[in-house]
Amino acid sequence: MSDTLNRREFMAASAAALAVAGVPQTLQNQAPTLLIPKGPRPLVVASANGHRYKNGGTVTCIEMAFRMMTEGADVLDALVAGVNLVELDPEEVSVGYGGLPNAEGVVQLDASCMHGPRKRAGAVAALEGVRTPSSVAQKVMDETDHHLLVGKGAQAFARAMGFPIEDDLNTPKSRQLWLEWKRRADPGHWLDPRKRAEAGFQAGLRMVADGLIDPEHYYGTINCNGMNAKGEICGVTTTSGLAWKIPGRVGDSPVLGAGLYLADGIGAAGSTGRGEANLYGLSTFLIVELLRQGRHPKDAGMEALRRIAANTQEKRLLDEKGRPNFQVDFYILNARGESAGVSMYPSTYSVCTENGATTMDTAALHQNKLLR
């Protein structure tokens, strides 16, 4: 073999020598570092009562859901277990057992759930006698070919699935609040239905103003959405609905695309507040479609609020400045692990990550605190 290097061999040898010379001695014999992208960040986002009520225990809804989810439980199973804490807590008067009843003093409950990976959903509406409607909604998803069961049919289904049916879901607290509302709303037994309805609504708002009812509880509801480290997204919404509602009234919570919507690999959105306003624009469907287009959760939610404001035309629903005189909140996450809470007027929402659970201020479309 010749001892003489040709030009190509000389240049290659020189480049190799310079490359080695530029690497510290301590690193020259180490294997190269591989940059492996991390998976999605596990995340649970909920309305404010998701980090408030514990049903006598030590953890809140979002804490339980996050723990179960990160320990390997199915995301929807974890979220439903979390909201069950709120549904069962007698101190929470906007959800489940002890939820504020309808105008006749009967607790009627609505709930929906969606499972992103399975592309399935289930819901119940105007369900009486079952403390945990979210669990019944999950059974509708798991055991039937349907998405929504209502009224007596929903109750019969729940009974068939083994849920105990109770005659009355009122607690002493919810019953006393209903009796106070009746006293304020109907002292003279109005015969004009329109006057009676308006008087009832105003009586409820005076109870809010007097501190008997938390403003967030007048419209009620808990929404809870989650994503695990695999990027699997699920969501659940459950409520006792508008306080003192007309019997049989159903709001947005059990309606897919209104009270809850999600798409695996894209994101999820849920809502609390005035259900009628949210139903008109199917706002959570809109938000998820905006996420699909690349919008940040906050921007997507704000666009939905602006559309609600634009669609609100009735004078009774507007304040002196022409703005909606009601609250609507959205709780949103996307597949990148970004999240936001947005609302018509200032409010709060809850988030749980690997750093723990916390309550945060929403981004508000309008800054003054207002409930009609």
Annotated catalytic residues are 221
Question: How far is residue 59's CA from residue 210's CA, in Å, rounded to a whole number?
Answer: 30
**Tokens encoding 62:** 């979002």
Question: How far is residue 131's CA from residue 136's CA, in Å, rounded to a whole number?
Answer: 10
Closest CA to 278 of 312, 325, 249, 320: 312
Q: Specify the pairing of strand 339-343 against strand 363-364.
A: parallel
**Tokens encoding 77:** 């199973």
Q: Specify the pairing of strand 109-115 against strand 356-361.
A: unpaired
What is the Cβ-side half-sphere exposure of residue 183, based on CA atoms within 13 angstroms?
Answer: 8
Question: How far is residue 146's CA from residue 105's CA, in Å, rounded to a whole number?
Answer: 30
Cβ–Cβ under 8 Å, residues 344 and 219: no
Question: How far is residue 333's CA from residue 202's CA, in Å, rounded to a whole number?
Answer: 35
Cβ–Cβ under 8 Å, residues 327 and 348: no
Backbone angles phi, psi at 85, to 5 degrees: -60, -40
Question: How far is residue 111's CA from residue 355's CA, in Å, rounded to a whole number?
Answer: 29
